[in-house]
Structure 1
């Protein structure tokens, strides 16, 4: 088998099926990453969403014993929304991060990797492969960096020369000994804009993230959000783009190469008030196809409630009172009480006081007290 020729054929085929960038990496242990992950564990900087042990995340042969190389792929996604609706007084809107625009990227990249796998099987019948997109054990960014897709920026994203950091990543471990590509040179230099701009200080330093403080992580949690982060979320319903939008490497980077990733403005920038009463079925129909729906409607609703408080939207008071009084979920009742206090209309405070007389959940009562406390500010 002429592996050099096969590599060229794989590269050519990848372009035919809509892969924007492809690279090849060795299966050597990711030693530097292993040390960094262990340090992250010691500092409790992990989100809890990570899959696998440190060893499984850094040693490809644990996932495919016969592994000889890794193929890394990248697909570019848009950074600008066409015909984006305006968020207006009395008709406020939330926002999903760019990585959740359009069809769920996990599905799209898995489709490309499946096609690539079928191509390899046809060319090399004894091939063994294991493919992953984001939720697998291997760190997508570490593989992409080694494969020359881009360099790992201070914002912890892979930054490609062509598309900036607006790319989705996936990889395929294989028993074919493809020659590895050269890594891309790091060019962040002394720029520290992303670290300085991080709303919560989650970027501890260039290349080191405390996931527990990251808004992208916080918007996906289901419990009460710590007060210090509630005021930082703004109108974000899922994810955070700040460390990408401020990056000079992303200036004027906006690629609309895949129909699947084109956002529906009413889905990715939805009205906030309708989210407060959306049914499970309606939520699945409207948001089910996008990546930002994977945790269900509860985190999205909680974040919508916080966003209405952020805007001090008095037109939402009646809806929030209804949630505070009737919703069976303590997190929703309590967050509604907090946002009512933040909005600060007389009717809101009166409703909190009335609801306290019937509320029995201690956490909700605590949130109600905090809501009433805004009167003193």
Structure 2
């Protein structure tokens, strides 16, 4: 990759556009403390703004500052995250809050390097937190900014390559102005999110179109170059059992690490296991009825999971002894817990059906 030639007046044009068209009324743009910006930045990773807003508002209502978050139980934090996915983000956030309270008196470090020491925070997120909340001159390189820069300079390499990414960091830093750093950071995010989009960029109203090499090529959506294709994702299959008795369901606490770490889930059986035999053996309970529910596919980053759910009614709940791993919950109480999205979907479909859960 050849050296990228930067363009004069890049930042002023971006800021002038932001002054007129930028987003300024999002919940996390009010009272821009490091804590509030941090929560928004973590939630916005892999998640659309419209999805994040209600989660953010509820989260901030329950955990208005780092002390409230640090003192909360992880189950409560995960419950507020239920449905957002990528639950390691919430676990790391809780750990980071504890570190901030225990080691930094509740204050964020003043440098990007210092903020990067916190769990779940990388260079770009740390820069966003400090530039937006404190005006620190530190560039970001999130997905939106990568797309803007890769397209503007028609960079002929996949930005995920380390060598290419390092050069793009250099470009991002060269454009970072000395003043209005926080506004510029927000402007670059907005530019990528609202104009320089993946499939239908609005080049005719972009403040950078005059010098955009991607637009000049005639095929701006070619950039950024796509990640080289991998082999098709593997497919796994599992049975999820809604074990119910006396209007309650049995939930299983997932291990702290791994998929859905720390969340409450439904008991999971091998795809070829006999539900009756497995349930009676595992839980020492008499099965009264078994009802097959609609199967569906849930996709993770590395594989597809085909879920075969069943509704199993047992004669008495007393045969299943509650432990830290297994506990009975009313349906209403279950919905207040941290649940994986497919588990929540299964329980919602059961609740709406003609079952004992009504």
TM-score (normalised: structure 1)? 0.29
User: Which fold has the larger relative contact order, with Cα–Cα distance below 8 Å and residues 6 or more apart in sequence?
Assistant: 1
Greater radius of gyration (CA):
2
TM-score (normalised: structure 2)? 0.30
